[in-house]
Each structure stands twice: as C-alpha cells, then as structure tokens.
C-alpha cells in the first residue's frame, strides 16, 4: 500500500510499482531534511542517505559481494586487502569499505575515496532498474555519518541513473505527445545544478510552454527524464503567470553541458558569484525582499519575476557543488529561503501591496502598527543596526554598514556614537569625505552638548584643512570641558604654527 501524502508532495513509504525511484529521491531532495530512504527488493536492502536534501551516498546489505569486482577494476586485487575490505563491507555497509581501505594503507586516500564513491554510484544506478519492491523514508535527527560523499548534484546523479535504463520495447510514452511542457515553476527544482547532455540541452532550450512535446523532441524519453528529475513540468499551470516573464532556456538555468568548453571568464564569474553570496548573507538578518533580489523598491511588477528567478539560480543550494562555494551550505540554504519568501511576497499585486505596507511600518525586525510609530522599538532597531554596522566594518563591508547607520541616526538621533561612527564609515570612501563632515555638522547642531561629536568634527575639519571651523569646534569642546587635554593640545599646536 502506498502511504504517500496526497497533494503534499511528501512520501513516507510505499511500493516501487506505484512510485518510481526517481520520484522517491526527488521528493526527499525537495524536503531539505536529513533522511535515510530504505528500498527493499528480493531480500536486498539498499539505503540512500540525504544530508539536508542532498543525496550523499548509497549502500547495500549485499555490497560486500561487489567489493571484489570493484577493487579488481581499480587494480587493487591484493588478497589481504580484498579479504579485509570484504569483511568490513559485510559488517558495516556504507562505511566498512572506506575504513578498510584507509586502515590498510595499501592505497592512497584519494584512491580509497574513489573506490567507495564508485561502489555507491554502482548501487544507486543499478537500483533504477528495480521495478518491484518497497520503500520507507526515515527522518534522521543528525546528518548521516558518511565517510565519502558523492561529488555530484542530485540532478546529475538522477539523470545518469535514468540514462542507463534500457529501452523497453513497445512501451508507450509516459508524456502525452500533445502536452505542452513548461520549465518547472518550482524554484528549487527548476534551478538544480546538473551536468546535461547536448541533446538534453536542446530540449530545455525548446521548451516555451507553447510547443507540444512531439515538436520539442522526437525521443520523448529525454523529456521524460527531465520531468522525472524535476526540470520540466507537464500539466496545468500554477495560475500565477510565473513562466511567461521568467527567462527560459539553458543559458538561464543552473546547468552545464557535458563536453562544452568553459567560458574564458568562468573563474572570474565564479569569484563574483561567491562574493555576492557572502556579501548578501552577511546582511541577511536585516535586509528586505527587494534587497535580497537586488532591485529598488519602486521596481515595476514585470521586473520582479526575472529578479526572483535570477537570484534563485545564484542562491540555489546546489551551488555548494562549486569549488568557490564549497563551504557555503548554511549561507545558500538561508539565502534561497529568503528568495522563496520574496517569490511569495511578489506573486501578485495584492501580496506585494501587503508586503510593502509591512515595510512602511518603520521597523526592521519588530512589529509596529501601520500608521503609528513606536519610539522604544525604533531605538531598539537603531541599537541593533549600530551593532551590526560595527561587525560589517570589521569585515570591510562598508556600504551596508553605511545603510545601517543612516537608519540608526534617523531612528535614534540622540546617540552621539551613531553619528560619529556614520561619519567614520563615510570617511572610508574618498568620495564621501565631505559628506562625513556634513554629517558631523548635523550631529553638532543636534547634540551641541556632546564632546565626542565636537572632537570628531574638529578631526574632520583638520583632514580638510579647514582651520577656522576646526578651531571653533575645539573651543566648543573647551566650553563643555575646560580641562580636555585633546582640545587643549590641538589648539596649542595650531597657535605654535600660526604665522605672527
């Protein structure tokens, strides 16, 4: 009996006769959870391990039978190694082989890893040929303890498993030749990373929502594979008009074409991509949906959909597969969640208007009734902004720090340290030096009793060689604190060099 939850896209268990392996693995991927998918058939049990939705390995209770052939294929047929590896694989599926090869010292660690990964891939790909059996999805509290993980994305692994399926003579196509496929409206599935064949790339390029399947490709098995992995959807549209304004074609997806030479500027593009990810992630706690998408708040509705899709591609969790983002799992998961929130907020004119009203409440993280101001909450937000800005400055991320501080002085203009730190950040940019001095003039007018502000203004005037205003600022300091050593020393130095 199939126990999948109707309409929810969640599977807990069932049979392979009703639910194909690709759908099981795709659903586990979409869940973004730690899990073990156990598939059983004819006395053999195979496990597929997921870490936050990413398929990381496969194991079998009969994998010991495959160890000999695998080690011989790698030229590692030493009898002692074979025997030890066989015993360990038999006693500890999924980990025993890796540990045996490492402990034997007979092979380099990278060779051992390649052996283990090849065995896991062999188990995965051969399971696609199972057409009978049962499966169970078991959530895990912690990530699975896997010594060697797959170095390819879920979509790449699933596509390869489906490509290896032998054709079934006389089988009817699973897709109606008259159906009009579209690229998946699900951002997670649409922007999966995958290495695809040139033929698959041609099919993805041809999909525009108006062509029937038969006109897109002669071999509908290609289209069926792309749908099974999740790139393509066949059936009713979502109703929100998502696909019409979104860019289509391989160039706007997150795929690589096998055999295609890399772009001459690929390295530079990957570095820029990584900088965008980290710079956005640093500010994620306080930026709004427009800022996540990199668009102004007065953008036209028609400009928001492409922005959502562009950021979904750039912030997709699968980008962890790239060398420049190998340590960005947390960042990508969090960023992609924000993109999904923006997708929901901008899905219609009404939802955008509702979201815009929430922005106009004058707070960043605390609720305030629309049309009213709450000074205490504004002060809390200003303090949080100031603290965040200090962290950003330590990271040399000055522009977002400037934005934080600008709002801090707006929400709580009585704090001298907010004004002086804002001026300090402005002074980091040669083009903003004059703005920094003007900021301190405004602060002095607002807080004439602040020694801190007058001293900062004196320093700013000294940098501009504005001795008249500098002297005035220093004298204001002495009015407030006649014994102030810094002001006294500065005035003495000015007097010493002043021509008689």
Number of domains in the chain: 4
Residues 253 and 270 in one domain: no
* 252 lies in the same domain as 280: no
419-453: b (≥16 Cβ within 10 Å) or e: bbbbbbbbbeeeebbeebbebbbbbbeebeebbeb
3 is a domain residue? no
Residue 241 shares a structural domain with residue 301: no
Is 288 a domain residue? yes
Instruction: Yes or no: say if 24 and 37 are a contact pair by the CB < 8 Å rule.
Output: yes
Residue 388: which of 288, 283, 292, 287 has the closest Cα? Answer: 283
Joined together, the tokens standing for residue 306 give: 């492409």
Same domain, 462 and 386: yes
Q: 3-state secondary structure string, 231-295?
A: CEECCCCCCCCCCCCCCCCHHHCCEEECCCCCCCCHHHHHHHHHHHHHHHHHCCCCCCHHHHHCC
235, 257, 279: which is the final residue of a domain? Answer: 257
Task: Tell me, yes or no, whether 295 and 222 share the same domain.
Answer: no
Contacts of 207 (CB under 8 A, 6+ apart): 181, 182, 183, 216, 232, 248
pLDDT tens for each residue of the chain, 500 residues long: 344 443 346 778 999 999 999 999 999 999 999 999 999 999 899 999 999 999 999 988 877 666 666 666 666 656 666 666 666 666 666 566 666 666 666 566 777 778 788 889 999 999 999 999 999 999 999 999 888 899 999 999 999 999 999 988 777 788 999 999 999 999 999 999 999 999 999 999 999 989 999 999 999 999 999 999 999 998 745 444 444 467 788 999 999 999 888 888 888 889 999 989 988 887 787 788 998 998 888 889 988 999 999 999 999 999 999 999 998 999 999 999 999 999 999 999 999 999 998 886 543 433 322 234 567 777 887 888 898 888 888 877 777 788 788 888 988 999 999 999 999 998 888 777 788 899 999 999 999 999 999 999 999 999 888 989 999 999 999 999 999 999 999 998 888 876 65
Whether 394 and 319 share a structural domain: no
Would residue 98 count as lying in a domain? yes
Question: What does DSSP say about strands 44-51 and 255-257: parallel, antiparallel, or unpaired?
Answer: unpaired
Q: Domain for residue 158, yes or no? A: no
DSSP letters, 318-354, are GGGGSGGGTT-HHHHHHHHHHHHHHHHHTSSHHHHHH
> Is the pTM value of this prediction over 0.85?
no
272 and 188 within one domain: no
How far apart CA 452 and CA 460 sit, in angstroms, is 12
Domain around 427: 375-497
Say how far apart CA 425 and CA 435 lie, in whole Å. Answer: 10
| Residue 488 within a domain | yes
| Residue 155 located in a structural domain | no
Q: Does residue 8 lie in a domain region?
A: no
């Amino acid at each position: 009996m199939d126990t999948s939850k109707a309409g929810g896209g969640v599977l807990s268990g069932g049979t392979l006769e009703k639910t194909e392996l690709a759908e099981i693995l795709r659903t586990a991927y979409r869940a973004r959870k730690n899990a073990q998918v156990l598939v059983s058939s004819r006395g053999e049990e195979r496990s597929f391990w997921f870490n936050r939705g990413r398929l990381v390995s496969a194991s079998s209770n009969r994998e010991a039978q495959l160890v000999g052939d695998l080690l011989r294929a790698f030229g590692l047929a030493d009898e002692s190694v074979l025997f030890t590896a066989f015993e360990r694989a038999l006693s500890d599926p999924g980990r025993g082989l890796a540990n045996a090869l490492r402990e034997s010292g007979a092979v380099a660690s990278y060779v051992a890893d390649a052996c283990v990964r090849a065995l896991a891939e062999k188990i995965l790909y051969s399971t696609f040929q199972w057409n009978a059996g049962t499966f169970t999805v078991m959530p895990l509290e912690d990530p699975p303890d896997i010594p060697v993980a797959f170095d390819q994305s879920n979509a790449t692994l699933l596509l390869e498993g489906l490509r290896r399926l032998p054709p079934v003579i006389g089988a009817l196509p699973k897709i109606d030749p008259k159906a009009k496929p579209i690229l998946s409206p699900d951002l997670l599935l649409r922007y999966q990373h995958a290495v695809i064949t040139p033929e698959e790339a041609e099919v993805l390029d041809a999909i525009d929502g108006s062509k029937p399947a038969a006109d897109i490709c002669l071999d509908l098995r290609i289209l069926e594979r792309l749908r099974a992995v999740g790139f393509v959807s066949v059936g009713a549209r979502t109703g929100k008009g998502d696909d019409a304004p979104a860019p289509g074609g391989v160039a706007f997806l997150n795929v690589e074409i096998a055999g295609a030479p890399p772009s001459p500027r690929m390295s530079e593009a990957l570095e820029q991509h990584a900088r965008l990810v980290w710079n956005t992630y640093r500010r994620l706690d306080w930026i709004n949906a427009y800022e996540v998408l990199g668009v102004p708040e007065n953008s036209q509705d028609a400009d928001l959909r492409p922005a959502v899709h562009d950021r979904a591609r750039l912030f997709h969790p699968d980008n962890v597969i790239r060398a420049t983002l190998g340590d960005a799992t947390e960042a990508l998961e969090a960023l992609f969640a924000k993109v999904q929130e923006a997708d929901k907020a901008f899905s219609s004119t009404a939802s955008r208007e509702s979201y815009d009203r929430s922005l106009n409440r004058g707070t960043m993280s605390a609720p305030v009734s629309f049309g009213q101001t709450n000074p205490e909450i504004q002060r809390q937000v200003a303090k949080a902004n100031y603290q965040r800005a200090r962290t950003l400055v330590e990271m040399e991320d000055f522009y977002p720090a400037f934005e934080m501080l600008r709002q801090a002085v707006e929400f709580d203009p009585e704090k001298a340290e907010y004004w002086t730190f804002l001026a300090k950040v402005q002074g980091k940019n040669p083009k903003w030096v004059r703005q920094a001095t003007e900021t301190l003039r405004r602060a002095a007018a607002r807080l004439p009793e602040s020694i801190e502000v007058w001293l900062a203004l004196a320093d700013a005037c000294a940098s501009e060689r504005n001795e008249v205003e500098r002297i005035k600022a220093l004298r204001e300091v002495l009015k407030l604190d006649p014994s102030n050593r810094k002001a006294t020393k500065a005035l003495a130095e000015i007097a010493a060099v002043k021509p008689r």
